Structure 1
């Protein structure tokens, strides 16, 4: 807008956009998510970034709970970060880390996946099989998993204690990094095509979340997590990469303090619709929002409901 004088509605609009794009401190977990505006940036398309910030904030202004998101569009260079360093129990989203670590290990050993690995990786992702995740978690071991996370560049992900892979703490920023490993052509992960294939084959009743509002011509590669616990209510997460001819972008939404699973799903899908709409204006939709009757309200079973001694720390949760 330069230095020219603005008045009336134009000045008000400029002030709103400036406020949306200004960095803001994170709020304590459990506080209204509207207190932290979505900050989107794009050097190539600053108008898109401003509009996206406004639309996402508009969604969150009417939603309860604690929400974080991270978005990146390769084409426009648009990035959005909303409390993206806040930690959450990963729930079944941790299975993406387990899968990628398994793929990476096979490359380090210069071999293809074994029949045993294939027999566990596929159901772990496509039907969210917890027993398969437990077997791979134990087989990989913490050293391999930690080394993989360091190699990827995660900064806020902590592996869950002992066999509690669902209690892995993670952030939206780190989940975006993990998706980048699978979609970035410069990635060291040569087997990324297989990982993306599995994420595109998640069964129908688990394909809610970030695909809502997705346009035609794209393929959704996603993994979700849905876990109620005695503190912070429902954790409802959805992470996904969207690929098509000459187009790739990624959306991550993590949340807790949701009163029900359906409520968390609806929040995520409204955010996703705003992102898809902004990035793909004028293109017909291939997936609409999930109706509440199709949300099961049954835990993904990735972690216990009650606190785990020595791991769940209320003082830490209150500031995470």
Structure 2
């Protein structure tokens, strides 16, 4: 048999062998990839479960002797999960001044701010000025316009009140607003979000408490606090803190709401303690 005939006979066998080898390699690679994806998913679920367990244990240890009702919710960017904890029986909480972030977000969702709007925005967020907030609320058409943005952000547990500071909300609803600003940008653009975030990063020094408590020096915190004593003796106070915490180890949005049965100072101490405990757990 001559060489040409031998080549014709052998060539198909070589091609089949090569194709079979490729199929085996691809199968092994795809199988390894699938196993890796499954393992990664399993590890992420395990991490989220363990983190939830750690946070629940940490939050439950914070002293609540002077606190009647409180709620905390955290969205951890690393795990993509929301973790929440409730003390007491309240389902919804008055916003006090944290509603100012919502109001400014709503205003920006309608179009570009005027120069006068920008002055009001700075006064609302950095100074927590109530008159500026009322003026901007009026420019929106009043509090009865709020449900439009509640619906867009899927804030199903938030309801208006005749007084904007007594608007009812939950910690998880506040995360939906915060996540829009810090991660999603579906209702307003990233540049508009950054405008609000910059204001939250420059609140007056006397308002720099709450979720900024207990974080490391390299941490960037954007926040808005709300506080409102419901009687002349500073009893039964509303004390809330919302915002975003980020450094090389952590990246999360957080909302802490509290009211009922405590003084304003008690509420601030409790919110500070929750913030400190949260950061310590998430930064491990």
Aligning the two structures, in what range does the TM-score lie when normalised by the shorter sequence?
0.7 to 0.9
Give, in whole Å, the separation in 1 of the partners of 2:135 and 2:157: 24
1:200-239 paired onto structure 2 within 5 Å:
200-230=201-231, 233-239=236-242
1:80-159 paired onto structure 2 within 5 Å:
80-83=83-86, 86-106=91-111, 112-141=112-141, 142=143, 144-159=145-160
Q: What SS does the corresponding residue of 1:184 show, helix, strand or coil? A: helix
Q: Residue 310 of structure 1 corresponds to which residue in structure 2?
A: none
- Check whether the contact 1:126–1:203 (CA below 8 A) recurs between aligned residues: yes
Q: Residue 254 of structure 1 corresponds to which residue in structure 2?
A: 257
Query: Could you list the per-position Cα deviations for residues 195-215 of structure 1 after superposition, in whole angstroms to 9, with x for gaps in the alignment?
Result: 111111110000111111112
Query: Aligned residue pairs: how many?
Result: 234
Distance 1:115 1:99, change over 3 A: same
Q: Residue 169 of structure 2 corresponds to which residue in structure 1?
A: 170
Between Structure 1 and Structure 2, the one with more helix by share is 2
Query: Could you list the per-position Cα deviations for residues 87-128 of structure 1 after superposition, in whole angstroms to 9, with x for gaps in the alignment?
Result: 11211111111111011111xxxxx31112111111110000
Give, in whole Å, the separation in 2 of the partners of 1:152 and 1:122: 23
Between stretches 143-152 and 83-92, larger displacement belongs to: 83-92
Give, in whole Å, the separation in 2 of the partners of 1:258 and 1:208: 21
Q: TM-score, normalised by structure 1?
A: 0.68
Query: Quick check: which has more Rg, 1 or 2?
Result: 2
Give, in whole Å, the separation in 2 of the partners of 1:42 and 1:253: 25
Q: Residue 41 of structure 2 corresponds to which residue in structure 1?
A: none
Q: Residue 267 of structure 1 corresponds to which residue in structure 2?
A: 270
Give, in whole Å, the separation in 2 of the partners of 1:60 and 1:76: 28
- Check whether the contact 2:56–2:85 (CA below 8 A) recurs between aligned residues: no
Q: Residue 187 of structure 1 corresponds to which residue in structure 2?
A: 186
Unaligned runs of 5+ in 2: 1-43
How far is the alpha carbon of 1:187 from its aligned partner? 3.1
Query: Could you list the per-position Cα deviations for residues 151-170 of structure 1 after superposition, in whole angstroms to 9, with x for gaps in the alignment?
Result: 11101111221xx2112111
- Check whether the contact 2:250–2:283 (CA below 8 A) recurs between aligned residues: no
Q: 2:49 aligns with which of 46, 62, 81?
A: 46
Q: What SS does the corresponding residue of 2:110 show, helix, strand or coil? A: helix
Q: TM-score, normalised by structure 2?
A: 0.76
- Check whether the contact 2:144–2:160 (CA below 8 A) recurs between aligned residues: no
Distance 1:70 1:146, change over 3 A: same
- Check whether the contact 2:64–2:270 (CA below 8 A) recurs between aligned residues: no
Between stretches 80-89 and 178-187, larger displacement belongs to: 80-89
